[in-house]
Structure 1
Amino acid sequence: MQSLRVEADEATAKVEELQKQVKALEHENLQKEQEITSLQHRNGLLDAQVEKLEAEKKDLKASAGDTQQHATQNETLQRRLQLLEEEAEEADKNLRETNDKLRQTDVKAGHFERKVQALEQERDQWETKYEEVSKKYAAIQKDLENLQIEISGM
């Protein structure tokens, strides 16, 4: 009997020891599950952060592309502005030359207008002289006819 008691005590001790081991393993298992849950939560947060960073990266790439496009567009507009400024300078130069030629033409026109006025005055004087001479000629012609009539009548 005693050997059964000893066996029972040993079995009881072994059961208690195994129960302690089971409790320790259950406790360890619970800690591991909590750690797994914590790590899964942290993994979820990190995945969300990765997605956020990837979206930000995509936005930054798009922004960089837009910046490059704006830089290219800016260069194009700068070249266009330079060409327009050069064209404006050329047009201004042509305008000054045209104004100079217009002033010269106005001076010449004024000169020719004075010349025309002088020639018109001279023409008027000649017309007046012609009318006077025509009147004198007509008077002399009449006197000549009268003289011829008188000479014929004599």
Structure 2
Amino acid sequence: MDRIKEKMNQLRLEADEASSRVEELQAKVKALEQENLQKEQEITSLSHKNNVLEADVEKLELQVKDLKQSSESGQQHSTQNETLTRRIQLLEDEAEQADKTLREANEKLRQTDVKAGHFERKVQALEAERDTWESKYEEMAKKYNAVQKELEEFQIEVGNI
């Protein structure tokens, strides 16, 4: 009887270890899929932003070309050229600032995803532990009831003797 119990306990431990390993691997797969999705979204976002910036650059290059032609027309156009050049510089500065902000936001998002993954794994581990304790409790309750029943039967047999 003790051997069977030991064997069952050993099998339960092996099953628990296998389950926890599966859960860890599933969590890793989920984290990698999430990271992959995040990177794809980041690529899409950056590609779109790049296209928008390229379009802005083309527009600005056309404006610079036009301004150069108009600056040859006279002094009056030179002030307009300087204004537009400053505007281009401001737009470039804004683009750099937006890029920096985007990188910071992506880093914060990555850190948040890492923390979320960590807490998800923690919750899964705690749920698994809870399930283990519940199954142990149920098993012990069954054993208690069986022993109680054996005790009553034994008392009845002793009383009959």
Q: Which residue of structure 2 aligns with residue 21 of structure 1? A: 91
Counterpart secondary structure, 1:23: helix
Map of 1:94-105 to 2, 5 A cutoff? none
- How far residue 61 of structure 1 moved from its aligned partner, in angstroms, is 0.9
TM-score by length of 1: 0.54
CA–CA distance in structure 1, aligned partners of residues 78 and 140 of structure 2: 89
Could you report, residue by residue, the CA deviation over 1:63-97 in whole angstroms, capped at 9, with x for unpaired residues? 11111111111111111111111112222xxxxxx
CA–CA distance in structure 2, aligned partners of residues 54 and 6 of structure 1: 72
- How far residue 14 of structure 1 moved from its aligned partner, in angstroms, is 1.0
Identity, in percent, stands at 11
- Aligned partner of 2:81: which letter? A
CA–CA distance in structure 2, aligned partners of residues 68 and 4 of structure 1: 94
Q: Which residue of structure 2 aligns with residue 6 of structure 1? A: 76
User: Does 2:124 align with 1:54?
Assistant: yes
CA–CA distance in structure 1, aligned partners of residues 110 and 87 of structure 2: 34
Q: Which residue of structure 2 aligns with residue 35 of structure 1? A: 105
TM-score by length of 2: 0.51
The higher relative CO (CA closer than 8 Å, separation ≥ 6) is in: 2
- Aligned partner of 2:138: which letter? Q
CA–CA distance in structure 1, aligned partners of residues 125 and 114 of structure 2: 16
Map of 1:108-127 to 2, 5 A cutoff? none
- Aligned partner of 2:83: which letter? A
- Aligned partner of 1:14: which letter? L
- Aligned partner of 2:111: which letter? H
C-alpha RMSD over aligned residues: 1.8
Gaps of 5+ in 1: 92-154
CA–CA distance in structure 1, aligned partners of residues 142 and 98 of structure 2: 64
Matched positions, count: 91
Map of 1:60-99 to 2, 5 A cutoff? 60-91=130-161
